[in-house]
Amino acid sequence: MLHYVAICGDAYTNNPVSPSDADLTPLAEQLDAQLWGLLPGFHRLVFEGGQVLLTVCVGELQMLLKQQQFEADSVFLDATALANRDTLYTVKAIARLCRRGAVLTMSRSDVALQTALQTALKQCGFDIQQPDALQAVYNPAWASKKLPVAIQPGTCVVIGAGLAGAAVASSLARRGWAVTVLDAASQPASGASSLPAGLLVPHTSPDDSPLSRLSRGGVRITLQQARAHVRHGTDWGHTGVLQRDLQGDSLNLPPAWAVDPSHAASDWCYVASPKTVAAAGLPPGSPALWHVQAGWVQPAALVKAWLDTPGVVWQGDANVAQLKSAVGGWQVLDEAGKLLAQADLVVLSAGYASQALAAAAGAAPPDLQAIRGQVTLGLQQDSAPLPPFPVNGNGGLIPNISTPDGPLWLMGASYERDAKQPTVAQQDHADNLTRLQTLLPHAADALIGQFSGEQAQGWAGIRCATPNRLPRVMPLAGAGLWLCTGMGSRGLSFAALCAELLAASLHGEPLPVDRKLAQAMQQIQ
């Protein structure tokens, strides 16, 4: 795998890439297609089937350097970017990210800056090899204090075959791991990931909170995965999502996003147009946001695609009850003590059950909460005045879900804390109808007959949440034991991103999110 990290400074303007060599035009077009929505922060772009990864980092140079965590083989430094900056401080930050032997090439600048830069490079352990060629090699005279981070691919057991576990299995297999996925059910995606369809939509907040920034990064990666692995229109739809503001006083966006219509934020969302509001069947002037990079996904389709990654083996009816440390790894046992699998690495992605499995391995159990959710669904009639796209804001309505029996609509979901049985309850159908009546009154009037009696169809599942609503991606007690779970109702947004974060952490690769966000997902409570 080839990683390239590009730090774009204080801002990024999406100008089309125009290579001078015509042979590079197809590659430039691929790059242009992904250069959207580059707000301050980290953005993971994917090429060559996931074997070439570009992490674009937008923001203040020195702050972004602090948030990186990798060892570079090669560095290109635009010397003009250091004008009016603390050159020594910046070079120290770059040296922290270099392995011994890394080659640094710099652009030409004025004599004063070039002299200051070469002095700083020497102080930070670089040998100036060719002053005229502006090249240096990181070769400090002192012993490096860096601890080895990367490990070599080996064998791995992932416990849990929902979105989280399947995504981890795929990410690790692409890096050379032999992965066995165990699940107590007889089929993959049998738990919360068996939801007929879910929304893929970023979270927004006035302060652009960690949850908002993490969800954008996750939505970008899930869109990449969906385009590559599942069928558009059948398994997922990049439809956009209308978010209705039922409070009527705020659209929940950072103030800076509304200042400039050409701002990168408009690639993600903007105030919905009167035409879009009318298409949803809402009164004129109804406050709402239009999420551009959003849609619906059938989770089981993604799970199947990830489990089909070469190097992944799926095993059902595997009731894991015990984890025992063994020479060079872990033994995974059932309740009778029968060995189910043995591997160098074990990843717990079993939702709420991960808490008991962590305790069984002697680790501090993470603070996880079981959340029961129920949706109401039904076959869509041609005469039903439903919007042509999903609408959320008080629960969410997803129309036009493709099924062999015809298009399906889905409304929900309920949110019942500390409930561990995925039973369908008639009261939740009534509650979902109440939500729909508030969200989309015209649609509720058309569908009301399908919310009660024999007409009511539903699905219920147990989601796994954390106190701060951020997923958990972290090592647990004992080498070779990791946790990747706690995604709440945003498994579609978080699973692929969390899997890439786990794999990057193991291999010492550039992280798909900044280090501060990664640390926020490693809190036990």
Q: Look at residue 211 and tell me whether its pLDDT is greater than 60.
A: yes
What pLDDT, on the 0 to 100 scale, is given for residue 250? Answer: 62
**What mean pLDDT is predicted for residues 296-306?**
98
Q: Are residues 273 and 382 in the same domain?
A: yes
Given 465, 485, 510, which residue is the final one in a domain? 465
In a domain, 227, yes or no: no
Write down which residue in 138, 173, 206 finishes a domain: 138
Same domain for 380 and 515:
no
| 268 and 310 share one domain | no
pLDDT score for 21:
78
pLDDT in tens, 60-70: 888 999 999 89
Q: What is the structure's pLDDT at 525? A: 45
* Within a domain: 145: no
Percentage of residues in the chain having pLDDT higher than 70: 95
| DSSP labels, 158-193 | EE--SHHHHHHHHHHHTTT-EEEEE-SSSSSS-SGG
In a domain, 230, yes or no: no
Q: Which of 462, 450, 435, 439 is nearest to 377 (CA)?
A: 450
pLDDT band at 231 (very low <50, low <70, confident <90, very high): very high
Do 478 and 441 belong to one domain? no
Average pLDDT score over residue span 184-200 = 96
351 and 375 inside one domain? no
My answer on whether 186 and 69 are in the same domain is no
Q: For the chain, give the mean pLDDT.
A: 91
Q: Is residue 217 part of a domain?
A: no
Burial class (CB in 10 A: 0-12, 13-18, 19+), 198: buried
Give backbone dihedrals phi and psi of 285, rounded to 5 degrees, phi first: 85, 0
Question: pLDDT digit string (tens) for 472-505?
Answer: 999 997 789 999 999 999 999 999 999 999 999 9
- Do 481 and 364 share a structural domain? yes
* pLDDT above 50 for 137: yes
pLDDT of residue 443: 95
Q: In CATH, what number is assigned to the domain containing residue 475? A: 3.50.50.60
Residue 100 sits in a domain whose CATH number is: 3.40.50.150
* 286 and 307 assigned to the same domain: no
**Would 336 be classed as within a structural domain?**
yes
Output the pLDDT for position 222: 98
Q: Which domain holds residue 494?
A: 155-191+301-368+467-520
pLDDT value at position 392? Answer: 96
- Are 411 and 377 in contact by the 8 Å Cβ rule? The answer is yes
Same domain, 107 and 182: no
pTM across the whole model: 0.94
Stretch 315-335: mean pLDDT:
94
- Do 363 and 375 lie in one domain? The reply is no
Residue 11 pLDDT class (50, 70, 90 cuts): low
- Quote the CA–CA distance of 475 and 484 in Å, as a whole number: 9
Convert the pLDDT of each residue in 77-132 to its tens digit.
Answer: 988 888 777 889 999 999 999 999 999 998 888 888 888 888 999 999 999 987 66
Confidence bin at 459 (pLDDT 50/70/90): very high
* Per-residue pLDDT reduced to its tens digit, 342-385: 999 999 999 999 999 999 999 988 899 999 999 999 999 877 78
* 423 and 474 fall within a common domain: no
- CATH code: domain of residue 388: 3.30.9.10
Is 375 part of any domain?
Answer: yes
Q: Categorize the per-residue pLDDT at 14 as very low, low, confident or very high, splitting at 50, 70 and 90.
A: low
Q: Considering its fold, how many domains does the chain have in total?
A: 3
pLDDT tens across 243-272, in order?
999 876 567 788 888 766 567 899 999 999
| SS3 call for 280 | coil
Residue 148 maps to a domain:
no
- 163 with 282, same domain: the answer is no
150 located within any domain: no
